[in-house]
Every structure is written in structure tokens, then in C-alpha cells.
Chains A and B, each alone.
Chain A
Amino acid sequence: MSGQPRCVQVLNGALAEIFETRDDVILLGEDLLDPYGGAFKVSEGLSDRWPERVLTTPISEASLFGVAAGMALRGRRPILEIMFGDFIALGFDQIVNGISKFREMFDDQVAVPLVVRTPMGGRRGYGPTHSQSLEKLLMGVPGIVVVATSECHDLRALLVSAVDDDRPVFLIENKLMYGRPNRRPVGGYLDELRVVETETRYPALTFSGSDFEGGAATIVTYGGMLPIVLEAATELILEHEVFCEVVALSQLLPLDLEPVVESVARTGACVTAEEGGLTGGVGAEIAARVQERSWGDLRRPVQRVAAHDGVIPAARELENQALPGVRDVIDAVAAVAGVRI
């Protein structure tokens, strides 16, 4: 496992590969130039090799989303790096009234093939405005694609697919993920868990500790919550002999429901787990749809695990209390599965 490259290296390599294979791609964002190479080093080494294709910008997020849109309208494939996911808030006019709408409101005469890459997530003590998971705000914006990366997904493939996509794609990265190994399943297994991967453009991974012979619950998650959910699932097996399936989505919007519905048909219960705030979250949308589609399979109502609705404090213990952890996932599984833990 330690032989696997770190996620940041995989993303960096994918960017280099994209530059090598396409000449219509430009990377823009703040502080991208070498030797710094971006706040999380994803673009390291790129501006030295391709000085004309890495554009370091002023601090102008409100406009940068529109700049990328304009480039995309004219046949380029811009990749916009937003230094912290929190700052997508500055771009919402462009996202809601431009990027997401141009194609349909101009009657399919245009496409907006841009990629926004940005890290979400906390657990680094950055405090209230640099730790959020705001992808839930994008869920209500039809016309864009929201893709969450995780340390178990093929990060190279996700990034290449996003750049090849003719639609605007928001690629949600994660601050803790960058430094971790890109833990890909080998031979259909990740450690002791069996893993199946959908053959979709933005795949979902389903993990099972019982060879997909059913289980106590399906835990639907994505992004930075995946390692926490896998830890919870492993603890449930080892310490309580409770077997769950874990569905790790990458395509959040349009919501990739099929793997969830299939898993719930086997387990009869569903928990959603995300690092973003509870109210109006990704889990709320998943829960609503699972209850519409899988009502007959469900033994109990869907439970959501999420951050508390409030700021994410900087101090470590306070931050831990605000964000969902292994214990929250285990408790939610116990609740939907009707077991005492």
C-alpha cells in the first residue's frame, strides 16, 4: 500500500499528461507558478514545463469563474483551480447565472467545457472560512456536473474524464486526501473488503465485507468522508460482526443513484455520510431519493451523518466535535440496522 503514489502526485501527473495530450487546455488560478506550484502543490512543476499554459491570476474569484466560462464558450478547455473550496461562494453568480445556464438558454448552440478543481474539507485547523465542504451548495444548480474525488478512486481517470467532458465539471478535491496514498483496489479487493466499480464516466465504488451477500446497512458517502466510513465499517465488522456495504460515489450531480438503490436492495437500510453541514446537504438529497425509489426495501428511515450546522472551529477538539467521525457513522448504522452497539 505504501508503494502507491500520493493523491497529489496522481493529480499532478494527470495534469501533466493532459497538457501533453491536449493543446486546448489552460490551467488558471492563484499562486500556481513554480517553485510554489499552488497552495496544495497540485500544479507543481507545470509552469516550468509549460509557462504559457499556466496562468497565475489576481485574487479575483468572482470573475475567474466567468473568465473560464468565456474561454470554454470559445473552444478552450480551462481548468480553474480555486485555492480553497470555501471561495466558490465568490463565484456563485457566474456559476448559477452563466456557467450552468449558457448551454440550455442558448438553445444547445454552445458548450461550456470547463473544469473547476477545488479542495474542500476540514480537520486541519484552518477555521470557519477555510474548512467547509460546500459541494452541497452546487447540488441545486442544474446544468453542472459535481464530481467528488476520494483516495480510493482512480484520480487520474477522474481528472482526465472531467477535462474531456463537454459539460462544466466541478471536481471536488480534499485537503487531507492530497497527502495520502491513492489506495486503489487490487484484484477487486481493498484490504479485506471486496470492491466493485461501476463502468460509468465518474464511477462509484461499492465495498462489501461479506461478498455482497447482504448486510446490515448501506453507507453512502464520498470524498473526504470515505476513509472515516471505511474505518467505521471495518470496526463494525471486527468488533461487532455487523457487515455493511459502503457506496463511495464520485458523481454527486446529476446524482448517481443506481449503485445506491442496488446496494439498498441487498441491505434494506441506508445511512448517508458527508463532511458538509446537515441541513440541505448531499445526504438530504440522497435520502429523499432513496426513500422514493427503495421504500419497499427499507426497514427503517434513512439516517444522515453530517457536520453540525454551524461554524467549523479552528481549535482541534472543537473542530473534531463539529465534524462527523467514526463514532457518528457507527451510531447511525446501529440505528438503521436496529442493533445495539
Chain B
Amino acid sequence: MTLLERQYEQMLTIRRFEETLLRLFSEGKLTGTTHTYIGQEADAVGVIAHLDPERDVVFSNHRCHGHYIAFTGDLFGLLSEVMGRSTGTCGGKGGSQHLHRGNFYSNGVQGSIVPVSTGIALAEKEKGTGAVTTVFVGDGTLGQGALYECLNMASLWSLPLLVVVENNHYAQTTPRHLAVAGDIRARGAAFGIETDELDSTDVEEIHSAAQRAVDHVRTTGRPFFLVLHTYRFSPHSKGDDFRDPEEIAQRRAHDPLLVAGARLDGDVRARIDEAVERLIAETVEAAEAAPVAGA
């Protein structure tokens, strides 16, 4: 498989997984909450390709399924976790926003993951493992003060920490202009941290920018602040979308799957599409058959 084929396959897997969750919710087969990654897949796939799941660490937020799948490939553990099965990656205790497997963690309180990631980067530095710790935050989370405390410490202490800001222009229902003053990238630069910024849904472009970011952290041991402008096509959670449908439609024209898919050979793409559909169907079947946690 070429790199692009693999990227497309990963993005499609995330997309179909998330669509499946929304369907299962509407069928009443899921309870609780979920925040789907539909539209942002190129970020997770582009960044996480440069990380080694055996060594590097990823800390994600409430919108964590895409990062989890790109890092661990564990669809069954994730789906059964969200479905409240004992086979879930946290035995059903965590649910959609609280995942842990290997070197992957997530937590659902905005901003509170950044201090923990900073501590992880400090520990890995002390241990001399060479690990890069990557933390994903949204634009809305730029309102949390702890994030700035941590940019300060990561820079002061030269920590191998990659902060990825996924600016999808909304925090729940609040548009960016009501919540984020000034320039996003400048926030990292203000602490003497190397930064980059990209407005793209092209997974190959994101892959290249992320390569430079991860390489920087790996070779210098210093933090990096990477701003990825993006968009989510689906509601914040479920049925809570108040955005202009016209705006969403315009963004959908730049769907990362369309951008990458157009570069693939038609037959190859059809084969990947089919394989992903099959994988998702099998995962749903297996998770539905798994024992209910606490039963």
C-alpha cells in the first residue's frame, strides 16, 4: 500500500466509525455522549503517522476517537467501550471521552489534559526514552489558563511536547470570534516555542507539516506548537448543530476524503472502501455480541 492509500484508508475508517456511532445512537443502541471527528480526520492521520505507538505518547480530549484509532488501530476496544461492554478499552468505565490503551490517554475536561501531558513529557525526558508527547486541543480550549502555564513550563524546561491545536472554528456552539482573541499561533511563539500553522484538509500537506513539527521535537527535545485549521461536518455532539447549513456545505466541498480520494486509482479506492465497510460491520457485530459491563 502506498502512503496515500494508507492515509485514505485510515481517514475512511475514522469517518465510517463515527458515522456508525451516530447511527447507533439514533437507533437507541448507544447512550451517553459522543463527539465525532467527522471532517477533521486528516489532522489525526497526518500527525500520528510520525509517532511510534511503542514509544511516543498521545493525550487527547473529548473528541478523541480519531486520534485513538490512528494511534492504536483498536476499533473493537473503542466501540465496545462506547457501547458499555466489558471488552471496552477501559471496561466500560471511561466511555467515549476517557480512553486509555498503551501510550494513549484521553480525558474530557477541557484544558486539564495539557498539564498532565506536560508531566508526561517531563517524565519521558527524565527517563531518556526519546518519546514525543503529543496533546491535542481545540480552539475553544485556548480559553483555559492552565494551557498557558504549561506552554511556559514546556519552554522553560525544554520538554519534548507537541501541542496540536485543531481549530475547527467552534467550541460547542460558540464561534471562534466570541471566544478567542488575537492570533492563535502567536500564543505559542510568545513563550519562545517553535510554531507552524496550516489551513488545509489535504492529508499529504498536513503529513509534511507534522513531520517537521515532530522532527523538531525529536531532534531538539524542545516543544512545538502546531495550529491546524480545520472544520467538523457533524454536530458538536449529537443534534446540537446551529451553524449555517450553507457554511457546512461549502466546507464539505473540501472533505479530506474527497481531496485524498481524487488522487487514488478508482479500483484501488473501491477496494479500500469495501474493506473498510466490512471491517466496520464486523466490529459492530463483535461489539454487539460482547458482554454488557456490569451485567
A–B pairs, 13, beta carbons within 8 Å:
A58-B156, A60-B146, A62-B145, A63-B118, A70-B115, A70-B117, A74-B119, A75-B127, A78-B119, A97-B109, A105-B94, A106-B105, A107-B89
In the assembled complex, which residues on chain A have CB atoms less than 8 Å from the CB atom of B150? 60, 63, 67
* Residue A79 interfacial (CB < 8 Å): no
Instruction: List, in ascending order, chain A residues with CB within 8 A of B94's CB.
Output: 105-107
* Contact (Cβ within 8 A) A104 B93: yes
Q: Which chain A residues border B123 with CB–CB below 8 Å? A: 70-71, 73-76
The reply to whether the CB of A66 lies closer than 8 angstroms to some CB of chain B is: yes
At the interface, is chain A mostly helix, strand, loop or mixed? helix
Evaluate contact between A62 and B146: CB separation under 8 angstroms.
yes
Give CA–CA (A75, B127) in the complex, Å: 9
Would B115 and A63 count as touching, CB distance under 8 A? Answer: yes
Interface residues of chain B, those whose CB is within 8 Å of chain A, are 57, 89-91, 93-94, 98, 100-101, 105, 107, 109, 112, 114-124, 126-127, 145-146, 149-150, 152-153, 156-157
**Quick check: B115 and A65 within 8 Å, CB to CB?**
yes
| Min distance, Cβ A232 to any Cβ of chain B, angstroms | 43
How many whole Å from B61's CB to the nearest CB in chain A? 13
Chain A, interface residues (CB within 8 Å), range: 20 to 34
Interface check A26, CB cutoff 8 A = yes
Cα of A286 to Cα of B91 in the assembled complex, Å: 34
In the bound complex, CA of A10 to CA of B57 (Å): 38
Q: Mark A319-337, 1 if CB is under 8 A from B, else 0.
A: 0000000000000000000
| Cα–Cα, bound, A98→B112 (Å) | 8
| Contact of A14 with B by CB under 8 A | no
The binding surface of chain B is classed by DSSP as: helix
Q: Is A144 an interface residue (CB 8 A)?
A: no
Confirm or deny: A88 has a beta carbon within 8 angstroms of a beta carbon on chain B: no
How far does the alpha carbon of A55 sit from the alpha carbon of B125 in the complex, in Å? 14
* Minimum CB–CB distance for B193 against chain A, Å: 15
Chain B residues in 8 Å Cβ range of A60: 146, 149-150, 152-153
Is residue A93 contacting chain B, with contact meaning CB distance below 8 A?
yes
Report whether B109 and A66 are in contact in the complex, using a CB–CB cutoff of 8 Å.
no
The reply to whether A69 and B119 contact each other, CB–CB distance below 8 Å, is: yes
Does A58 lie within 8 Å of B127, measured CB to CB?
Answer: no
B153→A58 contact, CB < 8 A: yes
Contacts of B119 in A (CB 8 A): 66-74, 78
Kindly state the separation between the CA atoms of A62 and B91 in the bound complex, as whole angstroms.
30
Contact of A57 among B100, B112, B124, B153 (CB under 8 A): B153
- CB-CB nearest in chain B for A65: B115
- Which residue of the partner chain, among A63, A106, A110, contacts B146 with CB atoms under 8 Å? A63
User: Closest 5 CB pairs between A and B?
Assistant: A70-B119, A66-B115, A74-B123, A106-B100, A67-B119
Q: Which of A26, A70, A107 contacts B100 (CB 8 A)?
A: A107
Specify which chain B residues have a CB less than 8 angstroms from the CB of A106 in the assembled complex: 90, 93-94, 98, 100, 105
Measured between beta carbons, the chain B residues less than 8 angstroms from A76 are 123, 126-127
Shortest CB-to-CB span from B69 to chain A, Å, is 18
Q: Determine which residue in B107, B122, B153 has the highest number of CB atoms from chain A within 10 A of its CB, and name it.
A: B122
A109 contacts chain B at the CB level, 8 A cutoff: yes
User: Other CB < 8 Å A-B pairs besides A76-B123, A78-B119, 4 of them?
Assistant: A63-B118, A70-B121, A76-B126, A94-B112
Instruction: Identify the closest chain A residue to B94 (Cβ).
Output: A105
Contacts A62-B145, A105-B98, A106-B105 hold; do A67 and B112 have CB atoms under 8 A apart? no
Contact between B90 and A63 (Cβ–Cβ < 8 Å)? no
Which residues of chain A in 97-149 are interfacial with respect to chain B, using CB atoms and an 8 Å cutoff? Answer: 97-98, 102, 104-107, 109-110
Interface pair A62/B98, CB less than 8 Å apart:
no
Residues of B within 8 A of A68 (CB): 119
CB-defined contacts of B156 to chain A, threshold 8 Å = 58
> A237 to B118, alpha carbons, bound, how many Å?
55
Interface status of A64 (Cβ within 8 A of chain B): yes
Q: Which residues of A contact B109 (CB under 8 A)?
A: 93, 97-98
Residue of chain A at shortest CB distance from B91: A107
Given known contacts A57-B153, A58-B156, A98 and B116 CB-to-CB distance under 8 angstroms = yes
Question: Is the Cβ of B120 less than 8 Å from the Cβ of A74?
Answer: yes
Q: B115 contacts which chain A residues (CB < 8 A)?
A: 62-67, 69-70, 94
